[in-house]
Amino acid sequence: MVTEMERGLRGDSHAMVKMLITYVDNLPTGNEQGLFYALDLGGTNFRVLRVQLGGKEKRVVQQQYEEVSIPPHLMVGTSMELFDFIASALSKFVDTEGDDFHLPEGRQRELGFTFSFPVSQTSISSGTLIKWTKGFSINDAVGEDVVSELGKAMERQGLDMKITALVNDTVGTLAGGRYADNSVVAAIILGTGTNAAYVENANAIPKWTGLLPRSGNMVINTEWGSFKSDKLPLSEFDKAMDFESLNPGEQIYEKLISGMYLGEIVRRILLKLAHDAALFGDVVPSKLEQPFVLRTPDMSAMHHDSSHDLKTVGAKLKDIVGVPDTSLEVRYITSHICDIVAERAARLAAAGIYGVLKKLGRDKMPKDGSKMPRTVIALDGGLYEHYKKFSSCLESTLTDLLGDDVSSSVVTKLANDGSGIGAALLAASHSQYA
């Protein structure tokens, strides 16, 4: 992965990891002030948020957010329908702004737009969609500037607001993480999909042809989910799932480790055992044939079942697979499959984080004998947050890879919903009034 990251930074169009330039060359300092909005689009839900920032002393004075689920038909419809839906929810949210938020007279409201799909940015506030991932597929949006699409939809709603920052969720999480802790150098998302961003030395980006940023840094959105390699062991289940997906051959690393897919891999293994070994009796349960019926949160619930008769596993198999009575042995096998799939994912995710640390030169003790700098990785996403066996396996693997000395200086930190506040902070630092 590190080799592919270097190819991506050179601009090699065949690089497996795109290493997108984000135009974020400064992360939040804590001095940000004023009222800002953020909108986070990237998975099953989208979030709108407003925050009143009070500068170095007061920090976050007030914040409110709302979560809206995206009707599935909008994820595969037209660009206009999706953006109209989002703009309308945003507009309704703005209407509920209370007196504890203050916009100075004569100023326009400003928004940080978190858009968690690969985008080729041309500035901090513009960029064209490269491709959809994670179950979205809206052909007429590919190649379009997502800021202008959202802007037009906001105009159609009569909403007067300027989008001052377009950021990937990893970049938002990095910004939010840095605001909370100055030692944050990278951010990882493990939710519906997976991705990573980190602070790169601008001199180490051969494809960057602009002026060298004054900070000397540039945040890179790795888009590591698209990594693939013949060194990644793909099983028959992975191959079949990929083949039948909306994006065959793409996002292979993501398909091995992220929340959208883990439950589906478990389902495919159970289905094979139902066919070949009559796991659920002589007939294969028809519900088990349905792609994506077994969701990762259900897998996690089964995996965490520590009751002596694996009661939760039994209940989930009844609900999801439609088999009312399962033997303890069948429940045990199911739980064991969850364990294998989750452990593989967690170990591969930890390997990716180790790759980022290697790229940053934070994978070994400094050669000159000096102290290892404190290194914080901000992590977010429902998979990491809620799937405890996954996150603890990820952490212990990272410790194994780094060794005791280095890992004592490396901290992983949950940056809960850091991307929303991060986008608002970046909207503030790129304000038209700043």
Least separation, in Å, of the C-beta of 386 and ligand ADP?
3
Residue 44 contacts which entry, ligand ADP, Mg ion, none (Cβ below 5-8 A, type-dependent): ligand ADP
Tell me whether residue 42 or residue 418 sits nearer to Mg ion (CB atom): 42
| Alpha-carbon distance values, 39 to 160, 237, 290, 366 (Å) | 15, 36, 33, 40
Phi, psi of 399 (to 5 degrees): -60, -45
DSSP alpha helices (H): ranges in 310-411? 311-316, 328-359, 382-386, 388-407
Residue 91 contacts which entry, ligand ADP, Mg ion, none (Cβ below 5-8 A, type-dependent): none
Tell me whether residue 301 or residue 351 sits nearer to ligand ADP (CB atom): 301
Residue in 8, 28, 34, 42 binding Mg ion, rule: CB under 5 A: 42
Least separation, in Å, of the C-beta of 418 and Mg ion?
10
Tell me whether residue 157 or residue 300 sits nearer to ligand ADP (CB atom): 300
- Separation of CA 301 from chain center: 21
Tell me whether residue 169 or residue 305 sits nearer to Mg ion (CB atom): 169
| Alpha-carbon distance values, 186 to 31, 272, 359 (Å) | 21, 39, 11
362 in active site: no
> What tokens appear for 221 in the block?
């959105």
The interface with Mg ion within residues 158-217 (CB under 5 A) comprises 169, 191
Of residues 79, 91, 116, 391, which has the active-site annotation?
116
Give one DSSP letter per residue of 126-192, joined into a string: EEEE----TT---GGGTTSBHHHHHHHHHHHTT--EEEEEEE-HHHHHHHHHHHH-TTEEEEEEESS
Residue nearest to Mg ion (CB): 42
Helices 169-180 and 418-429 pack at an angle, to 10 degrees, of 80
Q: Are 371 and 378 in contact (CB under 8 A)?
A: no
50 in active site: no
In the structure, how many helices (H) and strands (E) does the chain have?
14, 13
Residue 259 contacts which entry, ligand ADP, Mg ion, none (Cβ below 5-8 A, type-dependent): ligand ADP
Residue 296 contacts which entry, Mg ion, ligand ADP, none (Cβ below 5-8 A, type-dependent): ligand ADP
Residues interacting with ligand ADP, by CB under 6 A?
A: 42-44, 191-192, 259-260, 296-297, 300, 381-383, 386-387
Q: Are 52 and 35 in contact (CB under 8 A)?
A: yes
Least separation, in Å, of the C-beta of 16 and Mg ion?
23
Least separation, in Å, of the C-beta of 115 and ligand ADP?
11
Burial profile 360-383: b = 16 or more Cβ within 10 angstroms, e = fewer:
bebbeeeeeeeebeebbbbbbbbb
Contact window for Mg ion (CB under 5 A) among 40-48, 257-265, 350-358, 366-374: 40-48
Tell me whether residue 47 or residue 362 sits nearer to Mg ion (CB atom): 47
Least separation, in Å, of the C-beta of 333 and ligand ADP?
20
Q: Which residues pair with 221 in a beta bridge?
A: 20, 197
Quick check: 127 binds Mg ion (CB under 5 A)?
no
Of residues 84, 145, 169, 242, which has the active-site annotation?
169
* Torsion angle (degrees, nearest 10) of CA 6, 10, 16, 20: 100
Tell me whether residue 180 or residue 260 sits nearer to ligand ADP (CB atom): 260
Least separation, in Å, of the C-beta of 303 and ligand ADP?
9
Least separation, in Å, of the C-beta of 65 and ligand ADP?
13
339 in active site: no
Tell me whether residue 25 or residue 169 sits nearer to Mg ion (CB atom): 169
Q: Residues in the chain, how many?
A: 434
Residue whose pair of structure tokens reads 């951010």 in the numeric block: 187
Name the residues that contact Mg ion, by CB under 5 A: 42, 169, 191
Q: List the catalytic residues.
A: 47, 116, 169
